[in-house]
Structures are given as structure tokens and as C-alpha cells.
Amino acid sequence: MKSFLMIRSFRISSGQLPIVNCLLPIACCLLLITSCSVNKAKVDNSLKKYFDDNKVDGCFTLLNNVDGKITVYNMALDTQRFTPASTFKIVNSLIGLQTGVITNDTMMIKWDGKVRIFPGGDTAKDWNKDMGMTEAFKVSCVPYYQEVARRIGRDTMQAWIDSVGYGNKNISGPIDSFWLNNTLKISPDEQLGLMKRLYFELLPFRKSTHEMVKEVMLQEDNTAYKLSYKTGWGFDEQKNNIGWQVGWIEENRHVYFFVTFVKAGPGNVDMRTIRKNITTGILKQLGFFEGKK
């Protein structure tokens, strides 16, 4: 298929879109996204060393949007679903902004006075204060987004999750923790499709909503490249550490979408360092960060 939307068949359902006037263009775009062949994926086992060096399992996927070529390490994990952890803040932000629960990227939510502790025992100092959406997204503040989810409510949240076609679409249980407790799950493959739809503003949200979330995802911006991503850290049912880094990198007006997924055993793991080291190492090996792609 020759199209700028060339991509492999991500497991994404278009669902019933709440915004009637965008049904036709979005439906057409989703048809293009979901109908291309999985055979475009090139397996690159040389990337295994980055996971081995950090003593973890995982997978990595990169989509070159120019030619639709996919590079993947560990296809088996790429299509399995796991807790999204804090990568769900992307969609939580989109829904919050679209529904008006989040009025703008500076909307403050007051700290409830409870001191949170990170895995490993460190105090979550960056969370223990009043903050707005942009800061909450950057420091991945769980309490902020739990309050956003409570204000959105179950029925509205479910309707938007169904419309986006997010993973297994299961938000049963407490409304403020379904993305943390292995109720809602998504695969690296599906995360990649979500990143592409967000970047090209093909999700069922206003243009301004897409733009605001893309803006808070931007982490590095210089003359050589722009790097945008969201991280996540959670645990599966066996208490294994689950880590994510999902987003895109832009060089010379070309965009490449990527997903790093990390799975480590139970216990204390420096997931923040590991997922960054793996992602940075792989992107460097693939020729990024020099403005030559």
C-alpha cells in the first residue's frame, strides 16, 4: 500500500465515535491504518543486547512513517497485552481535556495531603503538592490523574475508551486505578498505533486537544531532533516490573514512532534508568540524535 498512513495491522477498533462530524474522515483513516500487512516488520535481534546489558526482558518497535518500514525486536512480546501504567496518562489527558474535566494545561488540582512513596521506598516528592496538568504529566503524578479519572466518571470514561479502541477496553473495578492494577491492558503493537494516530490527530478528539497533549509529551527539542514520549512503570499479576517508553522522534521533518517495553522480575528495579538507557541506546544504534535521518 502506497500511503503516508502505511502501517501494519495494529489491533485497534474504531468503535462508535462521540463526535459525529468527524466520523467519516476518522473512519477512513482507521481503515487505512488497520488494513496493511504485518509482513512489513523486520526483526532485528541485534537490539537484544540492550535488554541483556540491563538484565531485563522486553521488546522494541520502530515505525518509519516515510516508507512504512517496521523494525522490531522480540515480536512475541510486541503483541502481548500488559498494564499501561502511566502511559495511560496520554489518553486520560485527551479525555479530560475533551470533556472539560481538565480546563487547560495549567488547571490545578490541590494535593490531598497524603505522602506517596515510589516503588523502592523513596518519597514521591514531586507529587506531594498542588500542581497543574503539564507538571503532573511531566512528573507522572498518579494522584492528579486519579482525581481526573474520578471526575470523568465510569460511563464517560468507558465511552471514550471504546471510541479510541484502547487495548482490551476493560475499566472494571475502581475508576481511579484500572490502568494500574492489570484490569486495562494494551500491547506494544497497539501503543505504536496509538502514537501514530495521536501524532496525525486521527483520534476522536478536537484538534486543540491533540495539540495540547502532543505539546506536553515533548521532552527534547534542539536543532538536530525533537523527542516526544511518555513513560510508565507498573507491575503485572506476578509482581514483575513492567516499564514503558512510548512516543516519536522527528528529524529533518521525518517522524519515526517507537515503543520500548521492559519486563523485569519482582523486587527493586531502577526502571527509570533502565528504560531510558535501552531506548537511547537503540535509537543511537539506529542512527538518531545526529540530525541525519
Burial class of residue 9 in the structure, from the number of CB atoms within 10 Å of its CB (0-12 exposed, 13-18 middle, 19+ buried): middle
What element of type H or E holds 249? Answer: strand 241-251
The number of domains in the chain is: 1
pLDDT in tens, 123-154: 677 898 999 999 999 999 999 999 999 999 99
Write out the DSSP string of 59-82.
EEEEEETTT--EEEE-HHHHTS-B
CA distance readout (Å), 96 to 60, 91, 99: 29, 8, 5
Q: Which of 172, 2, 210 is nearest to 90 (CA)?
A: 210
Dihedral sign computed on CA atoms, order 248, 250, 97, 155:
negative
Look at residue 10 and tell me if it is in a domain: no
SS3 letters across 24-45: HHHHHHHHHHHCCCHHHEEECH
Look at residue 46 and tell me if it is in a domain: yes
For residues 8-25, average pLDDT: 38
pLDDT in tens, 168-201: 999 999 999 999 999 999 999 999 999 999 999 9
3-state SS assignment for residue 101: coil
Alpha-carbon dihedral of residues 88, 17, 172, 182, nearest 10 degrees?
A: -30
Look at residue 211 and tell me if it is in a domain: yes
Look at residue 187 and tell me if it is in a domain: yes
Return the percentage of the chain with pLDDT > 70, whole number.
85
Look at residue 88 and tell me if it is in a domain: yes
Of the residues 86, 93, 140, 163, which is catalytic? 86
CB atoms within 10 A of CB 10: 22
Task: Indicate whether 119 pLDDT > 90.
Answer: no
How far is Cα 10 from Cα 189, in angstroms, rounded to an integer?
Answer: 6
pLDDT at 121: 56
State the average pLDDT for the chain. 88
Look at residue 12 and tell me if it is in a domain: no
For residues 198-207, average pLDDT: 98
Residue range(s) defining the domain that contains residue 134: 20-285
Look at residue 4 and tell me if it is in a domain: no
pLDDT in tens, 207-260: 999 999 999 999 999 999 999 999 999 999 999 999 999 999 999 999 999 999
Judge contact between 194 and 166, C-beta under 8 A: yes
The CATH code of the domain that includes 187 is: 3.40.710.10
3-state SS assignment for residue 85: helix
Which residues, 6 or more positions from 188, have their beta carbon under 8 angstroms from its beta carbon?
59, 61, 77, 78, 79, 80, 259, 261
Is 177 tagged catalytic?
no
Q: Which of 230, 226, 188, 225 is nearest to 213 (CA)?
A: 230
How far is Cα 115 from Cα 135, in angstroms, rounded to an integer?
Answer: 18
Look at residue 3 and tell me if it is in a domain: no
272: region left, alpha or beta (phi > 0 left; psi from -120 to 50 alpha): alpha
- The mean-pLDDT minimum among 94-98, 182-186, 266-270, 278-282 falls in 266-270
How far is Cα 227 from Cα 239, in angstroms, rounded to an integer?
Answer: 31
